[in-house]
């Protein structure tokens, strides 16, 4: 079964909107794991529009299963990650003001940039995942720069799912197989939801972990957080 990591950024957005502590980000993280999630993901951005730097230390102490911090590896981000040593760090190529991650690394062009960063994180005992597009050359490049895992960007898959789901998933199938052959773990994330997750999981093998935030939190408005997490876990079984 692929593991479910819940991205709680949207909970932080709601909290920040009023300037208080409602909803309580730490309580939500605790409850997500209590309700069955196998990990918690956060993406602290420079403008702190959702997760704040001050959230990281208490979350690291709280999360039991897996704490995944994702972000662009500038000096400030790396300082934060190395200070708190999450179980996994997912590197994404986002620009500072980007609303959401919408493309992966060019692991070939950015090899010289990524290699020393990955080496530093791994030396600190942190598993490193690279956010990548489903391109076999890019997957091979992720292995070459020393990554432990890739996270396949699933935004295009989600967009094309209802038009031609077999064609949409095909590059992911190939990339997961290659990653496995190269000894890389396979994560996936972006716009996965209750409509498209089961088909993705059934076809993309192996699949170690999915990171889901926006859709899951949106579904929780209707179904409740406990029920929603259970619904997502069923899609992964």
User: Binning pLDDT at 50, 70 and 90, where does residue 39 land?
Assistant: very high
- Asked if 210 and 202 count as a contact pair (C-beta separation under 8 A), the reply is no
| Structural domain total, the chain | 1
Q: Please say if 190 is a catalytic residue.
A: yes
Q: Among 70, 151, 172, 209, which one carries the catalytic annotation? A: 70
Q: What is the mean pLDDT of the chain?
A: 96
Q: Among 33, 50, 172, 190, which one carries the catalytic annotation? A: 190
- Mean pLDDT across 147-169: 98
Predicted confidence (pLDDT) at residue 101 exceeds the cutoff of 90: no
- Please report the pLDDT score of residue 97 as a whole number: 66
- Mean pLDDT across 83-99: 87
Range(s) of the domain holding residue 165: 3-236
CA dist., res. 65 & res. 170, Å (int): 31
- Please report the pLDDT score of residue 94 as a whole number: 77
CATH number at residue 177: 3.20.20.70
- Mean pLDDT across 101-115: 92
CA dist., res. 168 & res. 150, Å (int): 18
Say which DSSP state 78 is in: H
- Please report the pLDDT score of residue 103 as a whole number: 81
Predicted confidence (pLDDT) at residue 116 exceeds the cutoff of 90: yes
Predicted confidence (pLDDT) at residue 113 exceeds the cutoff of 90: yes
Q: Is the preceding peptide bond at 206 cis, omega within 30 degrees of 0?
A: yes
Predicted confidence (pLDDT) at residue 38 exceeds the cutoff of 80: yes
Q: Among 43, 50, 151, 172, which one carries the catalytic annotation? A: 43
What is the percent of the chain with per-residue pLDDT over 90, rounded to a whole number? Answer: 95
Q: Please say if 103 is a catalytic residue.
A: no
User: Binning pLDDT at 50, 70 and 90, where does residue 96 land?
Assistant: low
pTM of the model: 0.95
Q: Please say if 70 is a catalytic residue.
A: yes
Residue 152 has, within 13 A of its CA and on its CB side, a CA count of 36
- Asked if 193 and 223 count as a contact pair (C-beta separation under 8 A), the reply is no
Checking 219-223 for CB contacts under 8 A at 24+ apart, the result is 219/193, 219/194
CA dist., res. 195 & res. 82, Å (int): 37
Q: Render pLDDT for 179-191 as a digit per residue (tens, 0 to 9).
A: 999 999 999 999 9
- Both tokens of residue 102? 């919408």
CA dist., res. 149 & res. 135, Å (int): 14
């Amino acid at each position: 079964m692929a593991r479910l990591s819940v991205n709680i950024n949207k909970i932080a957005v709601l909290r920040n909107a009023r300037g208080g502590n409602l909803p309580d980000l730490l309580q939500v993280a605790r409850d997500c794991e209590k309700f069955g999630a196998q990990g918690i993901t956060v993406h602290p951005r420079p403008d702190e529009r959702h997760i704040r730097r001050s959230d990281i230390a208490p979350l690291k102490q709280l999360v039991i299963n897996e704490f995944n911090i994702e972000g662009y590896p500038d000096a400030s981000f790396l300082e934060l990650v190395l200070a708190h040593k999450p179980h996994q760090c997912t590197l994404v190529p986002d620009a500072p003001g980007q609303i959401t991650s919408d493309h992966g690394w060019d692991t070939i062009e950015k090899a010289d940039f990524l290699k020393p960063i990955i080496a530093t994180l791994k030396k600190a005992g942190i598993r490193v995942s690279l956010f990548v597009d489903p391109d076999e050359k890019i997957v091979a490049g992720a292995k070459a720069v020393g990554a432990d895992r890739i996270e396949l960007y699933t935004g295009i898959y989600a967009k094309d799912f209802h038009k031609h789901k077999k064609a949409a998933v095909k590059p992911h199938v190939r990339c997961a197989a290659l990653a496995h052959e190269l000894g890389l773990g396979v994560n996936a994330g972006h716009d996965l939801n209750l409509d498209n997750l089961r088909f993705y999981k059934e076809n993309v093998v192996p699949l170690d972990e999915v990171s889901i935030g926006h859709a899951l939190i949106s579904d929780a408005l209707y179904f409740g957080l406990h029920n929603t997490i259970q619904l997502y876990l069923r899609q992964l079984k």
